[in-house]
Amino acid sequence: MLKIRLTRTGKHAQPSFRVVLQEHTSAAKGKFIEALGFYKPADKPKVLSVDAERVKYWISVGAKPSDTVAVLLKKNGFENMDKYIEPRNKKRKSKKEKAAAQPVAA
């Protein structure tokens, strides 16, 4: 399965990322099929530049963006990214709730 995800480039404390198309089993810093753009969160304002036509093409063929890439694309005006974004639950379960949720195996 193909994934559109970020791979880190840049110096220490100056992060920048490439938006790349990779096989989901390959290493994050490994070979990629196509570079689709870049993301520079250290710049003010943050910069995201992607080839919109290529991203739409790869998604139509079956590639899935990672959660982070989907959020960034949604902020840049791409539609239908909600189905790729995982729900965010900021409230953590306490230890008592975790123990109650798991049945006792005795």
Indicate the pLDDT class of residue 91, thresholds 50, 70 and 90.
confident
pLDDT at 28: 85
- Helix-then-strand count for the chain, H and E: 3, 5
Can you give the residue ranges of every domain in the chain?
2-87
CA distance 41 to 16: 7
CA distance 16 to 22: 18
> Which tens digit of pLDDT belongs to each residue from 11-67?
999 999 999 999 999 998 889 999 999 999 999 999 999 999 999 999 999 999 999
CA distance 92 to 84: 22
Angle among Cα 15, 49, 69 to the nearest 5 degrees reads: 70
Task: From 7, 105, 21, 98, select the one nearest 59 (Cα to Cα).
Answer: 21
CATH architecture of 2-87: 2-Layer Sandwich (3.30)
- pTM (predicted TM-score): 0.77
* pLDDT over 80 (residue 106): no
Tell me, what amino acid is at 61? V
| Coil, helix or strand at residue 59 | helix
pLDDT at 104: 59
